[in-house]
Amino acid sequence: MNMFLKTRKEIDENTASLENRKLIPHNLSCKNWDIANILANISDGNILDMGCMDSYILQNTVKCGFKGEKLGIDLGYSEGALAANPEIKYSCQDLMKTNFESNFFNYITCLSVIEHEVDFEKFAQETSRLLKSRGKLFVTFDYWNPKIDTSNKALYNLKWQILDKKDVENLVGVCAQYGLRLDRPIDWTTQDAVINPSYCSPFPGISYTFGILMFIKD
């Protein structure tokens, strides 16, 4: 954990791993890197997926047979919407201010959401409130260093920023203030701009990669 996607080969290997385990690959194959790495670090326990639509993480925790509550939130959900799997419950909520009880979750996942108008301090404060002691927070995000200007770009009707090293360091520092600490130092090594106009980039001329961090609550 605490690393960056370096090559397309990593995506292909993680996609094959999910398929070999009879798990559900993402319809955007690039996200299988996130999913496979997170699934390798969770087991039984209550889990919340933040900013998800029909969450592949939650679907796969069911496939893996993990015990515990499986909840997902997104601003795009209609109240009363039913999950495809009865073990999963979705609701329309702001990830920076939820109505869940404190110290309830063993795991919180947030895949490629933090770059869409999320206030880092409010996010850290809320995830820390929700997690049990020693609970894990997984955050994935779009990344490139030096900074790429996306000030005129939007996704899902929200502003979009590709995080750079300074942004990631800021996120880590803010999380630490709320008792969320990285399980190990970040490996800052990058290689290819894996997400590019010929593979999964949402805009012509924009190339970047993904990052993943795992925090543990004090």
Q: How far apart are CA 8 and CA 49, in angstroms?
A: 25
Q: What is the pLDDT of residue 53?
A: 81
The angle formed by the CA atoms of residues 51, 188 and 4, to the nearest 5 degrees, is: 40
Q: What is the pLDDT of residue 27?
A: 94
CATH classification of the domain holding 184: 3.40.50.150
Residues of the chain with pLDDT under 50: none
Q: How far apart are CA 137 and CA 182, in angstroms?
A: 9
Find the domain containing 15 and state its range: 3-217
The predicted-structure confidence for 23-49, as pLDDT tens digits, reads as follows 999 999 999 999 999 999 999 999 999
Q: How far apart are CA 216 and CA 183, in angstroms?
A: 6
Q: What is the pLDDT of residue 79?
A: 62
- Say what the pTM is: 0.97
Q: How many domains does the chain have?
A: 1
Q: What are phi and psi of 60, to 5 degrees?
A: -80, -25
Nearest to 68 by CA among 89, 95, 99, 50: 89
Nearest to 48 by CA among 132, 142, 116: 132
Q: How far apart are CA 29 and CA 31, in angstroms?
A: 5
Per-residue tokens: 199 = 């593979």
Q: What is the pLDDT of residue 81?
A: 60
Q: What is the pLDDT of residue 54?
A: 81
**Is residue 107 within 8 Å of 135, Cβ to Cβ?**
yes
Omega before residue 146 within 30° of 0, cis: yes
Q: What is the pLDDT of residue 153?
A: 96
Q: What is the pLDDT of residue 112?
A: 97
